[in-house]
């Protein structure tokens, strides 16, 4: 499948046609979590966003190397150059080793991403496993005149860098404004300028995670790991770097500066940033009491929730907004997402059991039959379905516009429901393409799956289907005997269990989980 992909490049602030460095291959680096706490909604959005990007590239025939890091050292409180390491602080509070904390929450993150049906990355490097590469990276920056050593720590010299390059090109920030708005922090007396940032920090006596270096026993700065590991696994130049918008400054801005200082090039051709998730219009944060972990969503234990929500409901909710737009979370929004997800999965089931007419395709082609029952000047049914299929890919290739792709999927759901009701008749070609849309677009590219089938397994699904056949046969017998009371009791009982029963024109009965 050959299609052009448009990507909004944060660096140039415009949509650009994606042209890979190596034809047919994509190098993608995405900033992963700092593993000191349970995965939350803020992890889910980039997880799902870049998973769909990877799935789309693969569906279009690209070979993808997807690198997502684990930050297990060097990320200090308040994303600054001073204070306690986030993982060490958590370890102190829990009375554990820092690497126990890192391992615990790495496993938790992996489990959450798996439940959201995200592909694992091709490579998942840990910052602590690449200390040697980071030290060598710093040596080159010092050699090129863009860093200095003070009391065993190494700082990036933003003023020296700005004489040749532009610090602020990604975020659009002005260095003078940054200097004015930078507050004084402990340890900044070591710096030549408040705008300078740490490449290597000398460890204080109480600091557990430390490594030997030419400058001191210490640890790398937070920003350095992505520059070093991106180059190691994707090369000095690679296609796409992704992450949350909150990482644009200072993290990604510093990455670009480090790359140029080390090798003379920014290294990344396309920068992609997903926007934030807000909670009822407010920024998510522990201090506001609206911080929600993924486990709290899956179990329904947070005070803002009225029930538990499945991982696929969360995934569907995230897909309803274009990744660059703000996504506002609320219990009501999740209820709507749950309803939409179930409707789509029901149609994916129903399309497999549609009764096709051997002559319907030819009749539709000759008579220009359309789902609205009109025929004059309308496209044939197969043409309409083909157009929906192409529109879905057009939307996805237009900077990953998942909400528009979903809207076309729901147009397809309407066609399935009309075919199920007998309003229209489908032939084998129409049915084949409808099945392809759900299996290829909804499931392969958007990564949705039927949780009922996944939970029950094939054997469990057959048992449920068999039991429903038995119950509906009992109801049918009651209706034939005009025992309306018994028929209604069976229907109402099923409704209370969330199973919707609908009688067809041909005397049969359909059921679905509401």
CATH of the domain at 167: 3.40.50.620
End residue of a domain, out of 274, 291, 310: 274
Is there a domain that residue 74 lies in?
Answer: yes
- CA distance linking residue 450 with residue 349, whole number of Å: 9
Q: Quick one: 401 and 472 in the same domain?
A: no
Q: Are residues 260 and 385 both part of a single domain? A: no
Question: Is 450 a member of any domain?
Answer: no
Contact indicator for 111, 58 with CB cutoff of 8 Å: no
pLDDT digits (tens, 9 = 90+) for 208-246: 999 999 999 999 999 999 999 999 999 999 999 999 999
* Residue 86 and residue 201 share a domain: yes
Buried b / exposed e over 81-100, threshold 16 CB at 10 Å, is: beeebbbbbbbeeeeeebbe
What would the pLDDT profile of 129-165 be if each residue is shown by its tens digit?
999 999 999 999 999 999 999 999 999 999 999 999 9
Arithmetic mean of pLDDT, 92-121: 96
Q: Does residue 82 sit within a domain?
A: yes
Tell me: do 441 and 460 sit in the same domain: no
Greatest mean pLDDT range, 120-134, 282-296, 415-429, 458-472: 120-134
Q: pTM for the complete prediction?
A: 0.85
Nearest to 114 by CA among 38, 35, 51, 36: 51
Q: Are residues 372 and 507 in the same domain?
A: no
**Number of domains observed in the structure of the chain:** 3
Kindly state whether residues 337 and 406 are assigned to the same domain: yes
Q: Are residues 141 and 218 in the same domain?
A: yes
Query: Does residue 270 sit in the same domain as residue 373?
Result: no
Question: Residue 67 — φ and ψ, nearest 5°?
Answer: -110, 125
In-domain check, residue 165: yes
pLDDT over threshold 60, residue 444: yes
Domain limits at 90? Answer: 6-274
Q: Which of 214, 242, 274 is the last residue of a domain?
A: 274
Looking at residue 458, its pLDDT comes to 46
Structural domain includes residue 365: yes
Residue 249 DSSP one-character state:
I
Burial class (CB in 10 A: 0-12, 13-18, 19+), 288: exposed
Task: Give the per-residue pLDDT at 464.
Answer: 63
- Provide CB contacts within 8 A for 16, sequence distance 6+: 6, 7, 8, 9, 270
In a domain, 79, yes or no: yes
Are residues 168 and 176 in contact, defined by beta-carbon separation less than 8 angstroms? no
Residue 292 lies in a domain: no
Picking from 420, 445, 470, the residue at the C-terminal end of a domain is 445
Q: How far apart are alpha carbons 436 and 275 in whole angstroms?
A: 31
DSSP state of 483: -
Q: 331: exposed, middle or buried (C-beta count within 10 Å: 0-12, 13-18, 19+)?
A: middle
Are 433 and 477 part of one and the same domain? no
Write phi, then psi, for 61 (nearest 5 degrees): 100, 5
Statement to judge: residues 10 and 152 lie in one domain? yes
**Does 343 share its domain with 241?**
no
Beta pairing partners, 371: none
- Tell whether 400 and 463 lie within a shared domain: no
**Has residue 89 got a pLDDT over 50?**
yes
């Amino acid at each position: 499948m050959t299609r052009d992909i448009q990507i909004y490049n944060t660096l140039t602030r415009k949509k650009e046609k994606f042209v890979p460095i190596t034809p047919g291959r994509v190098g993608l680096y995405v900033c992963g979590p700092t593993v000191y706490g349970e995965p939350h909604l803020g992890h889910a959005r980039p997880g799902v966003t870049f998973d769909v990007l990877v799935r789309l590239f693969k569906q279009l025939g690209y070979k993808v190397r997807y690198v997502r890091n684990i930050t297990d050292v060097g990320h200090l409180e308040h994303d600054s150059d001073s204070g306690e390491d986030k993982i060490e602080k958590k370890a102190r509070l829990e009375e554990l080793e820092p690497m126990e904390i890192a391992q615990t929450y790495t496993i938790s993150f992996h489990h959450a991403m798996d439940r959201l049906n995200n592909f694992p990355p091709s490579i998942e490097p840990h910052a602590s496993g690449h200390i040697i590469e980071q030290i060598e990276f710093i040596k080159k920056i010092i050699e090129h005149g863009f860093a200095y050593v003070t009391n065993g720590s190494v700082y990036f010299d933003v003023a020296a860098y700005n004489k040749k390059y532009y610090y602020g090109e990604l975020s659009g920030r002005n260095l003078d404004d940054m200097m004015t708005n930078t507050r004084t922090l402990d340890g900044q007396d070591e710096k030549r300028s408040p705008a300078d940032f740490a490449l290597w920090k000398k460890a204080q006596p109480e600091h557990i995670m430390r490594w030997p270096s030419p400058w001191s026993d210490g640890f790398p700065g937070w920003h350095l790991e992505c520059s070093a590991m991106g180059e190691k696994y994707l090369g000095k130049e690679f296609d796409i770097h992704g992450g949350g918008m909150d990482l644009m400054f200072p993290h990604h801005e510093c990455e670009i500066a480090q790359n140029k200082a080390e090798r003379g090039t920014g290294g990344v051709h396309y920068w992609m940033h997903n926007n934030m998730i807000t909670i009822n219009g407010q920024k998510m944060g522990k201090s506001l009491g609206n911080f929600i972990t993924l486990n709290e969503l899956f179990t329904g234990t947070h005070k803002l929730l009225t029930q538990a929500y499945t991982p696929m409901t969360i995934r569907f909710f995230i897909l309803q907004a274009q990744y660059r737009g703000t996504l506002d979370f609320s219990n009501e929004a999740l209820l709507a997402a749950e309803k939409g997800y179930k409707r789509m999965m029901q149609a994916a089931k129903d399309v497999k059991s549609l009764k096709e007419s051997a002559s319907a395709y030819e009749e539709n082609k000759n008579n220009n039959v359309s789902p609205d029952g009109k025929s004059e000047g309308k496209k044939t049914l197969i043409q309409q379905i083909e157009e929906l299929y192409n529109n879905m890919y057009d939307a996805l290739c237009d900077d990953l516009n998942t909400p528009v792709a979903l809207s076309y999927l729901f147009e397809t759901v309407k066609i399935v429901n009309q075919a199920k009701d007998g309003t229209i008749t489908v032939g084998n070609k129409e049915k084949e393409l409808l099945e392809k849309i759900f299996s290829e677009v909804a499931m392969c590219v958007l990564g949705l799956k039927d949780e009922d089938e996944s939970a029950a397994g094939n054997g469990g699904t057959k048992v449920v289907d068999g039991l429903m056949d038995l119950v509906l046969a009992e109801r049918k017998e009651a209706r034939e005997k005009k025992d309306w009371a018994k028929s209604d009791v069976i229907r109402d009982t099923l409704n209370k269990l969330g199973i919707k029963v609908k009688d067809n024109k041909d005397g049969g009965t359909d059921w679905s989980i509401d």
